[in-house]
Amino acid sequence: MNKTILLAAALLAAIVAGFFIGRSMNPVATDNSGAGADGAREVLYWVAPMDPNYRRDEPGKSPMGMDLAPVYADEVDGQPGVVKIDPTIVNNLGVRTARAERGELSQRIETVGYVGYDEDTVQHVHTRVDGWVEKLATKATGDPIEKEQLLFELYSPTLVNAQEEYLVALRSNNTLLTKASKERLTALGVTGSEMARLDKERKVRRRVRVYAESSGVIVHLGVREGIYVTPATEIMSVAALDSIWVLAEVFERQAAWVKPGQHAIVELDYLPGKMWHGIVDYVYPELDPKTRTLKVRLRFDNERQTLRPNMFARVTISGDSTGPVTHVPREALIRGGSVDRVVLALGDGRFRAQPVTIGIESGDRVAIRKGISAGDRVVTSGQFLIDSESNIERALAGMSVSDEAQMDDSQPPMDHDEPMESDTDSSQGPTDDDEPMNPEMDHDSHNMGSSQ
């Protein structure tokens, strides 16, 4: 009996000692502020690691079963939407900043275009009578021609009859008839040199020769030898290359910036570093209904013929300058559906998303009409991550306590730290998952069950 009492007393002492040892090794927080007696960091609230919108006033588990993360007072600024990021994280994110500047922005237009023929030099060759092309001197599109070079020879019964009438008039010495016959030949397209030959040789030429009126290249060739042509048939088109056009496309929002006479620069991919300087020759009166762009014509001298039609070109048009405006790098702007934003760097690792009203865009700069001032530092790299975090903090700061209580009542979260009713009910025996108090006793009981 005495041994039994002593054994029970020793067991009770061991249980009490174990309780106090465990209490000292795992202290339970009695204050949801998280501030200890030694001046530890103050915890404002706990949030779910995967869902910052899930916030609680005490530690616990998230709906996904993860431990809630503490949010400390020194990490949250008093202003809504301000986030504070550790300098190490800022460095790892590659955050870069730039200052907002104030000054003039030129209404410079950077666009693309293509090289085209100068249509002022394009000539279309037609005949004035019906006939057959019996000899074609130039047989391919793109062939160069010189002024007064033979293009083709035409056989036309109408021209043969007109020549014979003129020779008859010359032999009759009838001045009026001779003049009328000569005017008819001229109207049919017979040149002055051919008229001089008729006066000298007094012989009808069966095939009339047609010569080039200017130098250039064959832009279009619409006939072949032996083909029958009429005045409506386009024999060929000839254009010069010593002067060319560049047709540029200007966006609708920049249409008011471009005017005739402005300086323009053209660059081509096949000659890197080479720039052609010209002027805006003409601004077309209407926009393209498909691309919503305004066509602008530039004129350039091309004596060496380095610019070739249908080449792709990068075009820069220098417009007028604006007055003094606040402007930031274009990469700092976060465009939204209804509100545009920039991320301000407030110093000491603090950032805030700031709504702005933008103005014109010139090159890599954007004018800011409202929202920030000159000298403010804006984030130019990594601003999207900071902006999303700032919006979450602003949304959380705008939530009222009553809204949180209503949300808790309507959908109470499951707290994994609280024991289930089945665990706290002492009337029920241990389940299969409960660990036995004495492993040896459990082993003996299993042996007894197997021997029966």
Neighbour tally for 51: CB within 10 Å: 13
Q: For residue 153, what are its two tokens?
A: 């020879």
Q: Is the pTM of this model over 0.75?
A: no
pLDDT for 49: 79
35/65 same-domain check: yes
Where is average pLDDT lowest: 112-126, 263-277, 343-357?
A: 343-357
Whole-number pLDDT of residue 446:
43
- Give tens-digit pLDDT for 269-313: 888 889 999 889 999 999 999 999 999 999 988 888 888 999 999
CATH of the domain at 260: 2.40.30.170
Q: How many domains does the chain have?
A: 4
Q: Which long-range contacts (CB under 8 A, 24 or more apart) does 388-394 make?
A: 389/83, 390/81, 390/82, 390/83, 390/343, 390/351, 390/352, 390/353, 391/81, 391/353, 392/52, 392/53, 393/76, 393/80, 393/81, 393/82, 393/83, 394/80, 394/81, 394/353
Same domain (yes/no): 6, 42: yes
For residue 35, what pLDDT is reported?
44
Q: What is the pLDDT of residues 403-413, one digit of tens each?
A: 444 445 545 44
Sign for the CA dihedral angle at 73, 74, 75, 77 comes to positive
| Tokens of residue 164, six digits | 């014979």
Asked which of 116-130, 148-162, 423-437 is least confident by mean pLDDT, the reply is 423-437
Q: Answer whether residue 414 is part of any domain.
A: no
Say if 132 falls within a structural domain: yes
The pLDDT-based confidence of 238 (bands split at 50, 70, 90) is very high
Q: Does 225 share its domain with 176?
A: yes
Residue 441 lies in a domain: no
> Are 198 and 337 in a shared domain?
no
- Whether residues 393 and 359 fall in one domain: yes
Q: Between residues 355 and 23, which one has the greater pLDDT?
A: 355
37-39-45-51 Cα dihedral, nearest 10 degrees: -120
Residue 250 falls within a domain, yes or no? yes
Q: Give residue 166's domain range.
A: 127-234
Q: Is residue 440 part of a domain?
A: no
Q: Could you tell me if 87 and 170 lie in one domain?
A: no
Is residue 351, in this structure, part of any structural domain at all?
Answer: yes
How many CA atoms are closer than 13 Å to the CA of 279, on its beta-carbon side? 6
Q: Which two tokens stand for residue 33?
A: 């502020």
Torsion of CA 222, 223, 224, 230, to 10 degrees: 170
The answer to whether residues 305 and 248 belong to one domain is yes
Q: How far apart are CA 119 and CA 142, in angstroms?
A: 16
228-237, pLDDT tens digit by residue? 999 999 999 9
- In the numeric block, which tokens belong to residue 368? 């800011």
Q: Are residues 131 and 198 in the same domain?
A: yes
CA angle 268, 274, 278 (to 5 degrees): 80
CATH code of residue 382: 2.40.420.20
CATH of the domain at 178: 2.40.50.100
- How large is the greatest C-alpha to C-alpha distance in the chain, in angstroms? 170
Picking from 200, 234, 268, the residue at the C-terminal end of a domain is 234
**Domain-located, residue 156:** yes
Q: Check whether residue 360 and residue 379 sit in a common domain.
A: yes
Does one domain contain both 114 and 260?
yes
Round to whole Å and give the CA distance between 378 and 333. Answer: 9
Within this chain, do residues 348 and 268 fall inside the same structural domain, yes or no? no
Q: Which residue has the higher pLDDT, 212 or 446?
A: 212
Which of 234, 256, 274 delimits the end of a domain? 234
252 and 229 in one domain?
no
255 found inside a domain? yes
